[in-house]
């Protein structure tokens, strides 16, 4: 299982998600700075970290380790292709609970009080945000965002590029496809096909 950063890292992004990520970086690790298109990004204002350039300017694969610290999944997807050859760092908050048998991919973020339970597999570039619960044997594809307080019951699968919204609930064994959006507070009781958008209790398809 990949662990906390033990080396210097640069963050891609300097917004709200980068703030949360920076807060989780453990003692002994070092953030060298961040890349963001906005010269007044909140990360610099709140932490004093140095903006190293725009997102287009982040270093090639011979540069320092990187962590993708932007929340928007489409923006993340556009940057992931540029990270293939990079050394990346998985970052977890000290209060996150990770089963010894859980597997985290590269460049994953696990936030405060999140749980990744036994046998769960979290794909590359995923966000398991504050207080999210990934129950036993769940499988998350690449670039999935499980938003704060969302709960995936046991053996749920989530396809790549899917957002599981704030405080939503997904019943055990449900399969959610690629590129889906589960709205905040939804309770998902049926499988969701690729590209599906579901909201409500019980969740129904929209759009």
Catalytic residue IDs: 136
CB of 12 to ligand JB2, least distance (A): 8
Q: How far from 42 is each of 54, 68, 115, CA to CA, in Å?
A: 14, 16, 28
193 contact partners, CB below 8 Å, separation of at least 6: 177, 180
CB of 70 to ligand JB2, least distance (A): 4
21 binds ligand JB2 (CB under 6 A): no
Nearer to ligand JB2, 70 or 139 (CB): 70
Nearer to ligand JB2, 14 or 123 (CB): 14
Maximum pairwise Cα distance, the chain: 49
Residues 25-84 within binding reach of ligand JB2 (CB under 6 A): 36-38, 41, 55, 70-72, 75
* Beta partners for residue 104, in sequence order: 122
CB of 63 to ligand JB2, least distance (A): 18
23 binds ligand JB2 (CB under 6 A): no
Structural contact between residues 186 and 165, judged by C-beta atoms closer than 8 angstroms: yes
Total residues contacting ligand JB2 (rule CB under 6 A)? 15
Helices (H), the chain: 16-24, 42-47, 73-80
Tokens of 200: 């409500």
Q: Which residues bind ligand JB2 (CB under 6 A)?
A: 13-18, 36-38, 41, 55, 70-72, 75
């Amino acid at each position: 299982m990949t662990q906390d950063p033990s080396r210097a890292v640069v963050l891609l992004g300097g917004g709200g998600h980068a703030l949360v990520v920076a807060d989780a970086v453990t003692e002994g690790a070092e953030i060298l700075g961040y890349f963001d298109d906005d010269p007044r990004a909140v990360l610099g204002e709140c932490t004093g970290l140095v903006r190293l350039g725009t997102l287009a300017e982040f270093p090639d694969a011979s540069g320092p380790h990187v962590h993708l610290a932007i929340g928007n999944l489409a923006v993340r997807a556009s940057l992931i292709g540029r990270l293939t050859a990079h050394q990346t760092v998985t970052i977890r908050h000290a209060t996150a609970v990770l089963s010894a048998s859980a597997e985290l991919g590269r460049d994953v973020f696990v936030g405060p009080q999140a749980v990744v339970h036994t046998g769960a597999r979290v794909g590359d570039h995923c966000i398991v945000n504050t207080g999210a619960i990934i129950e036993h044997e769940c499988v998350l594809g690449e670039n999935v965002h499980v938003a704060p307080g969302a709960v995936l019951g046991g053996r749920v699968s989530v396809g790549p590029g899917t957002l599981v919204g704030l405080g939503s609930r997904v019943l055990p064994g449900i399969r959610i496809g690629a590129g889906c959006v589960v709205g905040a507070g939804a309770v998902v009781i049926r499988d969701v096909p690729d590209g599906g958008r579901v909201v409500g209790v019980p969740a129904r398809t929209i759009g």
